[in-house]
Amino acid sequence: MRTALDRVRSTRPSAPPVERALELPQPPVRLRFVLLLAGLAAAVSWLYPRLDAAWRVHGLATALADYGACMVGPTGPALLRDRQLSEFQTLVRRRLVTALAGDAPFGRCSELARTLNGKPSVEQVHRALAFTFSEYGGNPRPLHSLAELEVNPEAVAHEARRAWPFVRSYAALVKPSLGVKEAPHPVAAPEPALGRGLPPVRAYYRTARVTPEGVVLARGTGANLEVWKSNDGGASFRPAPPSLARDFAERCVLGEGRALALRSDGKATSVVSMTGEVATTLASLAKSGESVVAVACDERALVAALKPAGSARLTLAQCAFGAACTPLAPPNLGRPELGLDYPLDIARVGGTTVLALKMGNIVRVTSSRDGGTSWTPLSVAYDGGEHPLSPARMPVSLLTVGRRVLLHGSAVRGSDTYGLLFSDDQGASFRGR
């Protein structure tokens, strides 16, 4: 039996059928995948340049260490790593000034320089010859300076900053490779001692003798004769009476009563061989128009530097007792176009000819023990870049005292001091006192 509720429901009109909703097509890519890919792209864009920079840091750090070793030797990598650039540049300059004029001391480092700097011009400067740098001295028209080398740790530091957090410091990575060729460590030129007493003068005769009175120096002739005495081995001089030098003044004493003396007739200059006070032979030294710039002698021979008329390039001649004067082959200065165009001085000691050349603010020395057949490579005896002195005080004059060679400047005033260097190995090396 149906209840009343059922009867009520049966009397209601039936509801219309509900239409089924249209189904939309599925999207080809889910949003979650888009977000995932975007996240991955962001991660790659953040990671890749840092990972690439980290890779580059390792290569650049090794190149920096190799460059430092190639330029200045075993201390170079640490100096660049610790940014001690002033000390590094000092060593680079020392290596430059001690090189031969025709050498390219940094040529082997040029590819490393381009790796670190990236400029072709920097690579070319590293391949330049030593004489083309203004710091080398003696070149009136230099093409380069050491400031153009332009290599420092900035390229490595920049990549290290980009590589954070994978590389926090590049210092531990600056290590030379196994195959790097280290340059020899550049040695500083000796610091000169200070001399006192000798004023500037240009005299043919400069003869010093070790006597019981001390070192006695006689220079000049006639009214221009000066006699000086030193009681400290030549470190300081004071005027002395001419009688102390009467046995060797105004001539080149060879021993056994023999001597050589210069004689000029106003045009040409000759060398006179003398036995006692008697002239035995006469040899032509300088022709008419030539001037004698410097003279030195020992017990074996006299050597002179001559300046031909109309020429700035000096020539050398050697004169033995009783023989004709012969040309002395000049030293090789490292470039075919270079010659004895610089202010120079000569000394003779034990048969060795010592030559000092003032090249800018640097004094270089060479010597020959075989009459000019061969000369030692130029060595730096004084470097005004590291030990600056005024031009007058620079040690540019040579003086032989016994078996010792002095390289000294001059005092413009009586109280002035000047640079002084000593050599006890016939000019092969010099040192301060």
Query: Considering the chain, what percentage of its residues have pLDDT values greater than 70?
Result: 87
Residue 303 included in any domain: yes
* Cα–Cα distance measured from residue 382 to residue 421, given in angstroms and rounded to the nearest whole number: 8
pLDDT greater than 90 at residue 251: no
User: Do 151 and 206 fall into the same domain?
Assistant: no
Contact 232/238 with Cβ under 8 angstroms? no
Full residue range of the structural domain in which residue 130 is found: 39-173
User: Do 169 and 214 fall into the same domain?
Assistant: no
pTM reported for the whole predicted model: 0.85
* Cα–Cα distance measured from residue 294 to residue 332, given in angstroms and rounded to the nearest whole number: 19
Q: What is the pLDDT of residues 75-84, one digit of tens each?
A: 999 999 999 9
Please name which of 73, 67, 68 lies closest in space to residue 182, comparing C-alpha atoms: 73
pLDDT greater than 60 at residue 1: no
Q: What is the pLDDT of residues 269-317, one digit of tens each?
A: 999 999 988 888 899 999 888 899 999 999 889 999 999 888 889 999 9
User: Do 332 and 410 fall into the same domain?
Assistant: yes
HSE of 73 in the Cβ direction (CA atoms, 13 Å)? 11
**DSSP symbols for 339-399:** -S-S-EEEEEETTEEEEEEEETTEEEEEEESSTTS--PPPEEEEETTTS---GGGS--EEE
User: Do 387 and 280 fall into the same domain?
Assistant: yes
Measure the CA angle with vertex 95, ends 89 and 101; round to 5°: 125
User: Do 152 and 216 fall into the same domain?
Assistant: no
Handedness of CA 298, 299, 303, 304 (dihedral sign): positive
CB-based contacts of 313, cutoff 8 Å, min separation 6:
339, 340, 341
The residue among 120, 142, 173 that closes a domain is 173
Residue 62 included in any domain: yes
Residue 274 included in any domain: yes
Counting the structural domains of the chain, the total is 2
pLDDT greater than 80 at residue 169: no
Query: Considering the chain, what percentage of its residues have pLDDT values greater than 90?
Result: 55
Fill in the DSSP letter of residue 38: H
Q: Residue 331 is encoded by which pair of tokens?
A: 């030293």
